[in-house]
Chains A and B, each alone.
Chain A
Amino acid sequence: EAGVVQSPRYKIIEKKQPVAFWCNPISGHNTLYWYRQNLGQGPELLIRYENEEAVDDSQLPKDRFSAERLKGVDSTLKIQPAELGDSAVYLCASSSRTYTDTQYFGPGTRLTVL
Chain B
Amino acid sequence: GQSLEQPSEVTAVEGAIVQINCTYQTSGFYGLSWYQQHDGGAPTFLSYNGLDGLEETGRFSSFLSRSDSYGYLLLQELQMKDSASYFCAVLKANRDDKIIFGKGTRLHILP
Residues of A at the B interface (CB closer than 8 Å) are 4, 40-45, 56, 58, 91, 93, 98-100, 102-108
Q: Tell me if B87 counts as interface (CB < 8 A to partner A).
A: yes
Which of A41, A100, A107 is in CB contact (< 8 Å) with B31?
A100
How many angstroms between the C-alpha atoms of A108 and B31 in the bound complex? 25
B7 nearest CB across to chain A (Å):
13
How many angstroms between the C-alpha atoms of A103 and B47 in the bound complex? 11
Query: Judging by beta carbons under 8 Å apart, are A98 and B97 in contact?
Result: yes
Dominant secondary structure at the B interface? strand
Q: Tell me if B54 counts as interface (CB < 8 A to partner A).
A: no
Query: Judging by beta carbons under 8 Å apart, are B30 and A91 in contact?
Result: no
Q: For chain B, residues 33 to 84, give those with C-beta under 8 angstroms from any C-beta of chain A.
A: 41-45, 48, 50
Excluding A56-B97, A56-B98, 4 further A-B contacts by CB distance (< 8 Å) are A40-B103, A93-B43, A104-B45, A107-B42
Q: Which 8 residue pairs spanning A and B have beta carbons closest together?
A: A42-B101, A105-B42, A102-B45, A42-B87, A105-B43, A99-B91, A43-B101, A107-B42
Considering only CB atoms, which chain B residue lies closest to A95 in the complex? B45
Query: Judging by beta carbons under 8 Å apart, are B97 and A102 in contact?
Result: no
